[in-house]
Amino acid sequence: MATVIDGKALAKKINEQTTQRVEKLQADYGITPGLVVLIVGTDQASERYVRNKHRTAQRLGINSIVRQLPVDISEAELLKIIQQYNNDPTIDGILVQDPLPDQINEKDVTRTILPEKDVDGFHPVNVGKLFIDDSTKYPVSCTPKGIMTMFDEYGISLKGKKAVMIGRSAIVGKPMAALMINAGATVSILNRYTPDIKDYTKDADIIVSATGQLHLLGPDAIKSGAVIIDVGQNMNEQGHLVGDVDYDDVFDKVGFITPVPGGVGPMTIATLMQQSVDLAEWGMQRGK
Ligand SMILES: Nc1nc2c(c(=O)[nH]1)N[C@@H](CN(C=O)c1ccc(C(=O)N[C@@H](CCC(=O)O)C(=O)O)cc1)CN2
Ligand SMILES: [Mg+2]
C-alpha cells in the first residue's frame, strides 16, 4: 500500500509558517514583502495559476501585484517593465509567468530580473549557485524546491538512491536533477529522445515525471516500493486533471506517490510564498 504525499496539507502547514514570518517582519522591522507577477496574454491555465498565487499571497500578508500584459507586447517593453520593478525598493520578488509568446526570448527575460529579486530562481547566477551547491543563500525554482520539502517531510532520503528525472526543462527537470544530485542521489535525466524510458524507470528508487504526457507510466514501468513524484498537469479523456502517471493502476505497487491534483501543484505556490519572504529577509540582511 502506498503512502500518499499530501501536497495540499503540507502546503497549508508551510503557508501558516510563512504567515508567521510575514507578521514578524512587519512587527520587528515594519517590512511587508512585495511580489510582482507579470503575465503576458490570456492563457487560461496561466491565468488560473497566477490568480492562485495572488490570492495566496494576499492571504499570507504579502503585498501582491499582478500585471496582465497584452499578448503582442514587445520584448523591449516587457524588459522595461521588469527594470522598473528591479528599481522599486518595495518589490522583493519578480516573477514572469511561463509560457511566453514567441516574440519574447525567455532567456532575455530571465537575465533581466535582478538575481536578488529572482523569486523563481531562474537567473543564470542562481542556477549556477544551485549547480555548484553554493553555501550562500539563493532562490531555487519553486516546483523542485517544493518537492525537496516533500521528501524531507516524509522522511525520504536521497542519499545513495537511483533517481530518474523525466523532462529536462529549466523550470523543473534541470533544477530538480541538481537538487537530487546535491542530496546524494545518482540521477538520470531523460528527455523526449530517450529511446525507452522504461530502461531507466524500472530500476529507479525515485521517479520525478514532468512531461505533460498522459499515461506515461504504468505499473510495468516501475519498481515495487518506488517513490513517484508526478509534476504533470494533464486533462484526461474524461476532462479531469491528472498527472503523467496512471495513479490508480500503480497505487498498490509504489511506496510513496503524489496525487494530481493536490500534490506538487500546491507545493509550488507555497514555495513561491516562502521564497518571496526569503528574498525580503535576505534583502534586509544586505541592508537593502
Ligand atoms: N514563472 C513561472 N512560470 C511557471 C511555473 C513557475 O514555477 N514559474 N510553473 C508552472 C505552473 N505553475 C506555476 O506557475 C503551477 C502549476 C500548477 C499549480 C497547481 O496548484 N495545480 C493544482 C491544480 C490547480 C488547477 O489546475 O486549477 C494541483 O496540482 O493541485 C500551481 C502552479 C508553469 N509556469
Ligand atoms: Mg522536457
CA of 211 to the centre of ligand 2 (A): 6
Ligand 2 center to 120 CA (angstroms): 18
Query: What are the domain boundaries of the chain?
Result: 29-114, 142-265
Query: Which CATH class name applies to 29-114?
Result: alpha beta
Interval between CA 191 and ligand 2 midpoint (Å):
5
The predicted pLDDT at position 1 comes to 81
Q: Same topology for domains 29-114 and 142-265, yes or no?
A: yes
Q: Which amino acid is at 36?
A: V
Which residues have their alpha-adjacent CB atom under 5 A from ion ligand 2?
A: 167-169
Task: State yes or no: is 108 an active-site residue.
Answer: no
Told to judge if 97 belongs to the known catalytic residues of this protein, a careful annotator would answer: yes
What 3 state SS string does 121-182 have?
CCCHHHHHHHHCCCCCCCCCCHHHHHHHHHHHHCCCCCCCCEEEEECCCCCCHHHHHHHHHH
**Any bridge partners for residue 95, and if so which?**
37
Atom of ligand 1 nearest to the CA of 120: 8
Instruction: Please determine, for residue 105, whether its predicted confidence score (pLDDT) is greater than 80.
Output: yes
Pairing of strands 234-235, 227-230: unpaired
Q: Is 120 a catalytic residue?
A: yes
The catalytically annotated residue of 97, 129, 174, 244 is 97
Residue having the nearest C-alpha atom to atom 30 of ligand 1: 261
| pLDDT of res. 288 | 73
Binding-site residues, ligand 1, Cβ < 6 A: 48-49, 52, 95-98, 120, 142-143, 171, 233, 241, 260-262, 265-266, 268-269
- Structurally, at CATH architecture level, domain 142-265 sits in 3-Layer(aba) Sandwich (3.40)
What confidence score (pLDDT) does residue 174 get?
A: 98
Is 167 annotated among the ligand-binding residues? Answer: yes
Predicted local distance difference test score (pLDDT) of residue 234: 97
Q: What is the mean pLDDT of residues 130-143?
A: 98
ipTM over the 0.85 cut-off? yes
Q: State the pLDDT at residue 74.
A: 98
pLDDT for 50-64, tens place per residue? 999 999 999 999 999
Ligand nearest to the CA of 194: 2
With 80 as the cut, is the pLDDT of residue 66 above it? yes
Using pLDDT thresholds of 50, 70 and 90, give the confidence band for residue 67. very high
* CA-closest residue to ligand 1 atom 12: 49
The ligand placed nearest to the CA atom of residue 170 is 2
Q: Which residue in 99, 50, 102 sits closest to 75, CA to CA?
A: 102
Nearest to 31 by CA among 22, 39, 40: 22
pLDDT for 236-277, tens place per residue?
999 999 999 999 999 999 999 999 999 999 999 999 999 999
- Kindly indicate the confidence band of residue 167, based on its pLDDT and cuts at 50, 70 and 90: very high
188: pLDDT strictly greater than 90: yes
